[in-house]
Structure 1
Amino acid sequence: MNKFMEMLENVLLPIADKLNNNRYLTALRNGFMVALPLIIFGSIFVVIANLPFLDKLIGEDAYATYQSTLGPASAATLSIMGLFVIIGIGYKLVEYYKGESIYGGVVAIASFLILTPQTIDYVTSGGATEAVGGVIPTSVLGAQGMFLGIFTAFISAELYRYFTEKNLTIKMPAGVPDAVARSFSALIPITLTLSIFLVVRILFSYTSFETVQNFIYTLIQAPLTELGSGLPATIIAVLLIQLFWFFGLHGQIIVNSVFDPIWYALNDENLAAFQAGTELPNVVTKQFIDTFIVGIGGSGMTLAVIIGIFLIGKSRQLKELGKLGAPAGIFNVNEPIIFGLPIIMNPLVLIPWLVAPVVVAIVTYFAMSTGMVPRPAGVIVPWTTPALLSGFIATGGKIAGAVMQLVNIGIVFLIWWPFLKIMDKQYYENENRDSESKAS
């Protein structure tokens, strides 16, 4: 065991450390954090607008009016979340370089819009298809355009920084208001950056792909999304999250930085199907991970561990840990358990820590793929939402979602049970030994 632990530490720690400190992954993660409040707002109103059985209570016409009235809440946030993520990435990356971060966000979104085709195909009443100009399809502003948006934000922010560091700026004389001086200072770097993206758009118009969006989706996004939607890739992601946490690194942040664009794109497909009332295409989505694995007490699904502590704990250490960890664990904050049990670098918990989330991922995947449990509806559930309630919301208001979470808690509890017993016995004997030595 010691040799195995040492091997894992020597191999994984350097990799995880580099990923955790990578400026692009950090900007990507923080970009999503900028968009998160807006995404959650939109998701809440998607659920409210699609309450089950409401159409039977108020009638079809009233229900359609009700949905139309609430529709702008999600249309202006969730449906175009790519815009907010792009702004956040550009802002945070330029901020990392100690530059004028607001211009990083501005140049990122402008670059993306330059690459975005501003036409849609409109079907007339006669059935003919006409191209309408001056319109940006919202589909490319959401998860579908996320990959291009991410790459565009990275490249545009780097170009802006490069031109700024080369002093290709306009220096205003003393006495000019600071806001005006900063605006003129950013003029040339932004102009050069946007010109490059305009040239890229023109060049792609002469290819068979016609647009950069088509190129990205055909060669990169579609294959990666197909890979990320499968069970094998999901198991690998879950295992990596657990391993990184075991070595004291925030596994969720590291792994989500890579997988979030894929999971959000899958989420968006389910949301569109849910709103249209058609079959949901994907099992694995952002909410599959966040609600049915992480959302049951935090990484490692430690809510079940807390329940186990209350049921079998005899040692004072575990009992006190359970009291400290329970209130936070209900809202999926599990640092008290991770650092108090402890889980980090503790070989006693390595097996259940790695195995339990993987087993839950497999069971949940097959339950949803066979139709026993509804698939995630695409709504973004706030990560602090307690288990059972989050499962109900994530599946579009279906009780089966909460039942699935309850089954998952039971699975984790059973896997952890023997290891908790061993740990509790060890702590209990040590406490008794310490008490006896003090008494003598």
Structure 2
Amino acid sequence: MNKFMEFLEKFLLPIADKLNNNRYLSALRDGFMVALPLIIFGSIFVVIANFPFLDRLLSEDAFTAYQNALGPASAATLSIMGTFVIIGIGYKLTEHYGLEAIYGGVVAFAAFLILTPQILEGVSGVIPTSSLGAQGMFLGIFTAFISAELYRFFVQKNWTIKMPDGVPDAVSKSFSALIPISLTLSVFLLIRIIFSYTHFDTVQNFIYTIIQEPLTALGSGLPATVIAVLLIQLFWFFGLHGQIVINSVFDPIWYALNDENLHAFQAGTELPNIVTKQFIDTFLVGMGGSGMTLAVIILIFMIGRSRQLKELGKLGAPAGIFNVNEPIIFGLPIIMNPLVIIPWLLAPVVITFITYFAMSTGLVPPPAGIIVPWTTPPLISGFLATGNAWQGAVLQAFNLLVVSIIWWPFLKIMDKNYYESEQKASKDTNEKAS
């Protein structure tokens, strides 16, 4: 065990540290965080628009009118979520360089629109919403990175217009950004013209064919998902936020898969993907936090004898219900604790297999593409994420039971060690007092 941990420390930690501090991955992560409130807003109205049995309670015309009335909420947020992510990435990356961040955000979005085909079913001047959503996500990410870097380069070269003293600050900043923005967008216009002479026709077709489609196929599979889940747990074990590191890489893939399911769910057709953003967030992370530690809290109340674990259970339970598990991670502790490395790594992998099997066989509907807030308590989140299906809640309950079984012997040993140490300390204190 010691040699294994030394090996992981030597090779894994440096890689994780570099990923965690990489400015592009940080901007990507923060860009998704900018979009998250809008995504959740749209998801809430998808749930409201698809309440169970509502189509049976209302007439067909009334139900259609009801869904049409609520439709703009998701169409203006979820369907074009890529636009918010692009602006967020450009903003955050430019902010990282200490420049005027808002111009980094808008130049990223404008550059993306220049590269986006503006034609729909033969009508020019119309941008398909699919290009602004998951389908255009990868192009948007690359565009945001490159445009922010170009804007920074031109600003730091001092290719700006200097306004005289006394000019309002807003006007001065606007003219100062004029040349860097114009040069940056000119580069993207040139790229669009060049690709128009290739068989791909557009940059978006090139990105989707060469990069996004293969990566999406890989990320939707079970092997890649298991590896991602295992790495999240490993990074957490060594004190690094595993989700921040891994999600920075996989979120564009998982969100794209999520969006495909949402469109299928709204259209009433078969859901194409099992692994999505909500597969991870609802059925793994969304059960007490990373490692599904709500099961650990339940076990503490059931078998805990030591004062340390009992107090930890009381402290961690309120937060754990809402999927915040820092009290357990740092209080049990989980970080660098060899007693828990087996259940900590094993349980999420087992649950990944169980959840994938349950959904692939039709026992439980796949996630419907609805973004459920990560703080939603288990059972409720499973019900909502699967499109108001009770099977989602049952699967979460079953998963918690499985995690509890895996953890039971290890937590029992830990509790016994803590209890014996407390008894010994109490006995020593009494002997000194007498």
- Are residue 195 (structure 1) and residue 186 (structure 2) matched? yes
Matches of 1:322 and 1:11 in 2, distance apart?
A: 34
Tell me how far 1:250 sits from its aligned partner: 0.2
| Alpha-carbon distance between aligned partners in 1 of 2:404 and 2:416, rounded to the nearest angstrom | 17
Partner of 1:73: 73
One-letter code of the match for 2:209? T
Equivalent runs, 1:311-330 vs 2, <5 Å: 311-330=302-321
Consecutive unaligned residues of structure 2, counting only runs of 5 or more, are none
**Correspondence 1:378 to 2:386:** no
Aligned to 2:243: 252
* Aligned pairs (5 A) from 1:139-158: 139-158=130-149
> Alpha-carbon deviation of 1:3?
1.3
Partner-residue secondary structure (3-state), 1:347: coil
1:96-146 Cα distance to aligned partner (Å, 9 max, x none): 00000000001000000000111001xxxxxxxxx0011000001011110
How far the C-alpha of 1:204 sits from its partner, in A, is 0.4
Cα offset for 1:4?
1.0
The equivalent of 1:125 in structure 2 is none
Q: Summarize the alignment of residues 21-420 of structure 1 with structure 2, pairs less than 5 Å apart.
A: 21-121=21-121, 131-420=122-411
Q: Secondary structure at the match of 1:377?
A: coil
* Counterpart AA for 2:309: L
What residue identity is the alignment partner of 1:12?
L
TM superposition outliers: structure 1 runs of 4+ over 2 Å: none
1:270-325 deviation line (CA, Å, top 9, x unaligned): 00000000000000000000000000000000000000000000000000000000
Aligned equivalents of 1:325, 1:240: Cα separation in 2: 24
Counterpart-to-counterpart distance in 2, 1:55 and 1:302: 38
Q: Distance in 2 between matches of 1:285 and 1:228?
A: 9
In the TM superposition, what is the alpha-carbon distance from 1:52 to its structure 2 partner? 1.6
Could you tell me how far 1:337 is from its partner in structure 2?
A: 0.1
- Post-superposition shift, 1:53? 1.3
Number of positions where the alignment pairs a residue of Structure 1 with one of Structure 2 = 431
Amino acid at match of 1:395: T
Distance 2:42 2:157 in 1: 42
Cα offsets for 1:328-357 (capped at 9, x unmatched): 000000000000000000000000000000
**In structure 2, how many angstroms separate the alpha carbons of the residues matched to 1:404 and 1:54?**
24
For residues 418 and 9 of structure 2, what CA distance do their matches in structure 1 show? 26
Q: 1:51 deviation in Å? A: 1.2
> 1:168-225 deviations in whole A, cap 9, x for unaligned?
0000111111111100000000000000000000000000000011000000000000
Aligned to 1:124: none
Cα distance in 2 between the residues matched to 1:3 and 1:136: 56
| Structural RMSD (CA) | 0.4
